[in-house]
Structure 1
Amino acid sequence: MAYDFGSQTLGIKNPFKTEGKFRAVTGAILLASGVIPLLMVAEALKENPVYAYTYAILGFVLLAAGSRHLGVGLFQLFRYFVGRSVPTSLAYNRSRSEQDIAQSEQKTVLYDDNQLHAMMMGRKNTTFVEPQGWVARFLHSIFPNLTFLPHPLRNLAQELGSLAISFIAAIVSFLIVAFVVSTGLAGEKAQLLAMPVLSFLLLVYLLRLWFSAASAIHNRRNTQLHKVSGLSVSMLIGMSILVPVIVGFGLDAVVDVSTSELAAWMEKYTVFSAWLNLVILGVTMAIVIAGILPGLLTRMRGVSPQTEVSEYRDNLQESVHPNEIFINLENIVLANRRYKEIPNRIYRELDPKLKEQADGKGSFDGELLIETQPRLAQDQNNEIATKQKLLPTLLGQVCVLISFALLSFFALSVADGMSLLREATNNFSGGKLTDSEVIALFNQVSHALVLFFAWMALSAAGKMLNNASHLFWGELKFESMMMYLKTEGTFNESKFSTGMSIHDSTRSENVLVRSSITPWIITSTIKSSIFATSGASNLETPRYIMGLTKNDNELASIIEEIKTFLQKRESIASITNEADLQSASVIHQVNQQTRAHSTEATQDKITLKEDEEAAGYLRNNDTPEDKS
């Protein structure tokens, strides 16, 4: 969408300045952290090349991440360019002056003219759709007002709820596994290996859900509701029963090792256990929920999803041509209601159809669906407080910094393991590892895996918090008037004349159109919501209708203007120019003088009244033969 400059601005300021400051600080810290390992490369290269390459890679990764965070933060602090064509229309805009804009936002609009017409006529809001999936229905039953949030916020709440339920199901699955293993249903070897294997699989599965939920929370053309079903819960419970049994019987069939030997081997070598990472994942989930839930609850608490409209229906008998009604309504009445002289958004163009019949009779009908330019509104009832927006922003930056710290520790742990392997194999040239070196290597691998999965959990938490805070900061609310007009009726024509006396020097002949008009007008104040972004497409995201409220005063004003126009119309053509009026007066005086001389010269001396009556009698009784 092009930037349409106008001296009259819409009053929309940059909503991301506070968020941008926090992100810029995070980027600066990461940039400074990336310089430190790069300065250590030269010295480490002399002693151990493994550490040197690790420092180099880690430094470049931190510099790249820091540059990205700093760039995004500074970009959010730049000037926010808002033209006169924002926000996005509700449906395709058929206004002739806005066709370029309408083409560019065609893929972004959420509704069409038929849906808007149905909402006005049916007093309903198609934005609020039924939740999909078992988990979604469960969450909407606990929080009924969740249904009345915009789609990005509904998806945010559903993703959080699904993660929480999945985590609880994971704990239940561990309890089931513990019961299956402890009772010996999975075999003796499964008592040693089932819990580590299953904990690892559950950790990978939950991290995948964690990253998937973080990626699903965004506001880039997010027009569809996510389906959140109970499939993940059933899979977890099924895995908790099947995996230990499969692992147990598989070990009994494949591994030709006694239970005592397997126990001794596991006691000797450190086997990775996912319990610590599951605790870390649970803590990060609690942090994310604590950062996002207060804002969501505030946003849900004050919603009032009204679907009310103001309606006017009547039958009018007026001496006016039907086209003049439509012209006055579109070019004067609705044009007077433009916001800061911005053209109205026409979703169903007025195209009056006149069906003329014989003898000057006919019928007409026309429809119009129009919205005035949305103006920025502040609804204090469900406005998220600034501190509730700051909370996920601050927690998100903390999680990002901790995640990169864990990444650094993971890289150093890998470097320790590689260095140990290098020394044990004579610079990777070959050689047999001693038992103590194998034990040390197992310990190092286990430690590296803990750091790796902890880094993944904190990284996903930071991404989720940042995306959620961006939604909170970017929500802008607008108000506008939408009107639907449907007019039907009939008309007939008749002629009448004035100034028909033989002594009148001026005459006015008129064609009078008598119309029977049946208008149906529906208007409503539309409350809509849009989620802004940073960049060239800052306000080109879908706009959601959140409520329709009555505007009886505005409707009364429109009806009053239309009736005033009808009452002030002139049906008889007259002279309004002073020069023409003076000329007609001179001609009238000449005619009077002529009649005076003609009357004195007449011997019968008939009166003026008798002369007029005689002339009228002759005119009415003239036949074509007489005139010829």
Structure 2
Amino acid sequence: MAFDYGTQELNIKNPFKLEGVARVVVGIILAVIGGFLFYQVAGVMEESVLLTAAYFFAGACFLLIGIIKAVGGLTRVVRFYVGRDAPSNLDKAYAAPVIYQMLRNKKNPTFVEPQGLIPRIVHSLFPRLLTAPPVLRNYSQKLILKVSKTLFAILLFGIVVLGFQVLTASGHVDGLAKDAAISTLLVLLALYLGLLWVRSEKPLDSANFTYGSTSAKSLFKMLLIAIAMPILVALGWSLSFSGLSGSEVAAYSSMFGLIIENNAVVTLVAVVLAGIVSLVVAFFLLMSARLNLFPTAVDRTHLNDEFRFDAHPKTLFTRLTNKVMMSRRELDIDNRVYNSYCDTKAANNNNSEFSMEYIAETQPLVLEAPEGKFYGLARTLITLAGHAASALAFILMFLLVADALSSIHEPPFSGWEEYVVYYLEMVFYFFILLLVAGYGKAAVHMSDLFRSEIFFKSNAILFEADGTFQQSTNYRGENRHEASSEETGFHFDSTYNMFGSSLLTSTFAVSGHHNLQQLRFVMSMADNDEFSKEIIDDLSYEMKKIERDVQTKRDADIQASMKRKTDAIYEQKSAELAAMANMGVIPSPQDTSANLVAKDDVDVKKIEE
């Protein structure tokens, strides 16, 4: 079963279960088709070697694709491990100076100006896209670029067809070359569109986590190809048809004319437009729902005051890092520290300067997004629709292949022209089904992208202080040369700035190892007055506690010193009385025991004087 929850109750669920199950189902269907084709191999082995090889190759392809899809689906269902270091640190996406500016100056570097023609057009049509994570912005730009390529290819094909019509009417190109060139270009167009959408890269690749410029240069390349290819194709067919007899020209004209007249162009355009409209509408519906989940804000708390304590400034730093912030760990996981230093500079007139900086973030906790029914239902329907489209396309491909293989064994054609038309149409519709499978793959990638986003909440602080400190030595006694003890002390005077913010961050989980180690982005920043004030209050309490402990120790040392002096005076007086008694100056101690000086009668005030 899947490892749904991380240690210490991180509560990060596996977002890929539904998609994994759908992949398994599609994989099983394709594997069954491949197995059926393998089963047919034994029946046709004696009839035709070519037919046997065709069945074997088709069965191997279906079986291999099915196994790959099924294994990939199982991996997504059962493999989602979350460790104690999840999610990644902010310094993977932002450098420490950037985080410093983010907290100090209320800047969010996640939202940057789009670069390139296509990104600017996309953000002009949908301005709110600017506040989306880089992954979603990159995906939207690449989706629109792919849609632009598709529509541009259809437009160029229409212009080419119109150009051939004009050239044929003017007598520069004969009708046979025109029909052959248009038929060839139509099949090549279907192949290009099918490969364009099937070869779509995964939106959760690491390259998509950073902003990129989507250039429109590919559209200009398509324009150049659209100018050169029709000329080369028409020229090639004209050379091929040179020297044909009249009956052969009529046969070829009938053959290529059938391809164009069989609604092939209408079918291609209908499939293209239906797929594009469905994907674009689904994307913008999902994006609108995603952007409405949380408000976008850039704010923070700022506290500014002075600290004056009888302690070394490094004591302030260590209390902040090892005591105050340690007590604010979440889930017993250490805070994320992005910068930490305490620099004591050279002394100047018995005053030493110091500066310190500390940037840290508490362990991010998973935040359940208020998705609502529409967002979750839309992602589920798009996932199922994408896999259904892919499965349907593969099934129809199987039927096409099966029909083509059967026609090899028993050709139902009266002439070779019909034979060529039939197989050209088979290839054409195979490429159209490849395009449908590409649309299904794009829909699955889209739903995966929106499903895999996981939100976190955390608190980040920036504490910086600058000031001076002095070192002093305290002596106990009448003067420093007769002191009973000495004590080295410090005093610092500083001004601090405390910046704090409650962060809403998001990352995109991937299936497999390091599933939550992708870049994490700051989506929103809010003030955290209570959190920041508690840190300052606790830090002040800790420093005052240190001063109290030092004072208590100092008072204890003074009491002990006074006691030693009292004992010394008592012993000295006792010795003097004993000597006077031995000399007969005073009665012996036995006769005057009541008059002896007791310890408690020693005048402490005189001793102190």
TM-score by length of 1: 0.79
Distance 1:199 1:303, change over 3 A: farther
The whole-number CA distance in structure 1 between the counterparts of 2:355 and 2:313 is: 9
Partner of 1:338: 329
CA deviation after TM superposition for structure 1 residue 14, in Å: 1.6
Partner of 1:623: none
CA deviation after TM superposition for structure 1 residue 406, in Å: 2.9
The whole-number CA distance in structure 1 between the counterparts of 2:374 and 2:466 is: 46
Which residue of the other structure, out of 498, 503, 508, is the alignment partner of 1:526?
Answer: 503
Matched, 1:562 2:562: no
Checking the alignment, whether the CA contact within 8 Å between 1:400 and 1:462 is kept in structure 2 is yes
CA deviation after TM superposition for structure 1 residue 566, in Å: 2.7
Matched position secondary structure for 2:463: strand
Checking the alignment, whether the CA contact within 8 Å between 2:6 and 2:81 is kept in structure 1 is no
Partner of 2:368: 378
Q: Sequence identity, in percent?
A: 25
Map residues 122-201 of structure 1 onto 2, 5 A cutoff. Answer: 122-177=105-160, 179-184=162-167, 187-189=172-174, 192-193=179-180, 195-201=182-188
Which residue of the other structure, out of 437, 451, 469, is the alignment partner of 1:459?
Answer: 437
The whole-number CA distance in structure 2 between the counterparts of 1:532 and 1:303 is: 19
Matched position secondary structure for 1:74: helix
CA deviation after TM superposition for structure 1 residue 263, in Å: 7.4
Matched position secondary structure for 2:107: coil
Matched, 1:16 2:7: no
Distance 1:260 1:558, change over 3 A: farther
1:59-103 Cα offsets, whole Å, 9 max, x none, are 222222222222222222225321101111122xxxxxxxxxxxx
Partner of 2:379: 389
1:338-396 Cα offsets, whole Å, 9 max, x none, are 1111111222232x121242775311112222222111112327997221210221012
The whole-number CA distance in structure 1 between the counterparts of 2:74 and 2:433 is: 26
Matched position secondary structure for 1:215: coil
Count residues with an aligned counterpart: 574
The code of the aligned residue for 1:32 comes to V
Matched, 1:405 2:405: no
Partner of 1:304: 295
1:531-580 Cα offsets, whole Å, 9 max, x none, are 11122222122222222222111111111111222333336756679x99
Distance 1:612 1:286, change over 3 A: same
Map residues 149-548 of structure 1 onto 2, 5 A cutoff. Answer: 149-177=132-160, 179-184=162-167, 187-189=172-174, 192-193=179-180, 195-212=182-199, 214-215=200-201, 217-234=203-220, 256=242, 264-270=250-256, 272-273=259-260, 275=265, 276-302=267-293, 304-350=295-341, 352-357=342-347, 360-380=350-370, 385-416=375-406, 418-419=408-409, 436-496=414-474, 509-548=486-525
Checking the alignment, whether the CA contact within 8 Å between 1:277 and 1:450 is kept in structure 2 is no
Partner of 2:70: 70
Map residues 98-137 of structure 1 onto 2, 5 A cutoff. Answer: 109-137=92-120
CA deviation after TM superposition for structure 1 residue 254, in Å: 8.4
Report which stretch shifted further, 177-186 or 353-362: 177-186
Checking the alignment, whether the CA contact within 8 Å between 1:310 and 1:524 is kept in structure 2 is yes
CA deviation after TM superposition for structure 1 residue 182, in Å: 4.4
Report which stretch shifted further, 56-65 or 467-476: 56-65
CA deviation after TM superposition for structure 1 residue 456, in Å: 1.7
The whole-number CA distance in structure 1 between the counterparts of 2:320 and 2:179 is: 83
Checking the alignment, whether the CA contact within 8 Å between 2:312 and 2:491 is kept in structure 1 is yes
CA deviation after TM superposition for structure 1 residue 22, in Å: 1.9
The whole-number CA distance in structure 1 between the counterparts of 2:126 and 2:300 is: 27
Checking the alignment, whether the CA contact within 8 Å between 1:310 and 1:552 is kept in structure 2 is yes
CA deviation after TM superposition for structure 1 residue 466, in Å: 2.2
Distance 1:451 1:198, change over 3 A: closer
Checking the alignment, whether the CA contact within 8 Å between 2:190 and 2:428 is kept in structure 1 is no
CA deviation after TM superposition for structure 1 residue 286, in Å: 3.3
Q: What is the CA RMSD across the aligned residues, in angstroms?
A: 4.0
The code of the aligned residue for 1:187 comes to H
The whole-number CA distance in structure 1 between the counterparts of 2:37 and 2:513 is: 36
The whole-number CA distance in structure 1 between the counterparts of 2:526 and 2:431 is: 51
Matched position secondary structure for 1:13: coil
CA deviation after TM superposition for structure 1 residue 335, in Å: 0.8
The whole-number CA distance in structure 1 between the counterparts of 2:299 and 2:61 is: 55
Report which stretch shifted further, 473-482 or 224-233: 224-233
1:277-319 Cα offsets, whole Å, 9 max, x none, are 3432333333433544422221134453322221222233322
Give unmatched runs, 5+ long, in structure 2: 587-600
The whole-number CA distance in structure 2 between the counterparts of 1:239 and 1:257 is: 29
The code of the aligned residue for 1:549 comes to A
The whole-number CA distance in structure 1 between the counterparts of 2:329 and 2:280 is: 43
The code of the aligned residue for 1:486 comes to E
The whole-number CA distance in structure 2 between the counterparts of 1:610 and 1:288 is: 95
Distance 1:253 1:35, change over 3 A: closer
Partner of 2:590: none
Distance 1:294 1:588, change over 3 A: same
Matched position secondary structure for 1:15: coil
Matched position secondary structure for 1:554: helix
Report which stretch shifted further, 59-68 or 378-387: 378-387
The whole-number CA distance in structure 1 between the counterparts of 2:373 and 2:87 is: 19
Distance 1:293 1:341, change over 3 A: same
The whole-number CA distance in structure 1 between the counterparts of 2:250 and 2:28 is: 50
The whole-number CA distance in structure 2 between the counterparts of 1:557 and 1:306 is: 23
Matched position secondary structure for 1:570: helix
